Amino acid sequence: MVEKFCCFRLESVAKCLGWLGVIQFAILIIPLIISLAFVNEFVNYLARKGGYTLFNHSDIERVLTICLAMFIVLITINFATNLCLLLGTEQKRHNLLLPWLIVKGIFMVVPIISAFFGIFIGIIFVPLNIYIWICMYSLYKRIKTENKSFVE
> Does some domain include residue 4?
no
Q: Which residues of the chain have pLDDT under 50?
A: none
Q: Looking at residue 36, what is its pLDDT?
A: 92
Q: Looking at residue 6, what is its pLDDT?
A: 85
Q: Looking at residue 118, what is its pLDDT?
A: 65
Containing structural domain, residue 140: 10-151
Q: How far apart are CA 21 and CA 147, in angstroms?
A: 26
Q: At what angle do helices 98-107 and 120-151 cross, to 10 degrees?
A: 160
Q: Looking at residue 110, what is its pLDDT?
A: 75
> Does some domain include residue 5?
no
How many domains in the chain?
1
Whether the model clears a pTM of 0.85, i.e. scores above it, the answer is no
C-alpha 72 chain-centroid distance:
11
> Does some domain include residue 31?
yes
Query: Is the Cβ–Cβ distance between 11 and 139 less than 8 Å?
Result: yes
Q: Looking at residue 53, what is its pLDDT?
A: 60
Half-sphere exposure of 125 (CA within 13 A, CB side): 13
> Does some domain include residue 102?
yes
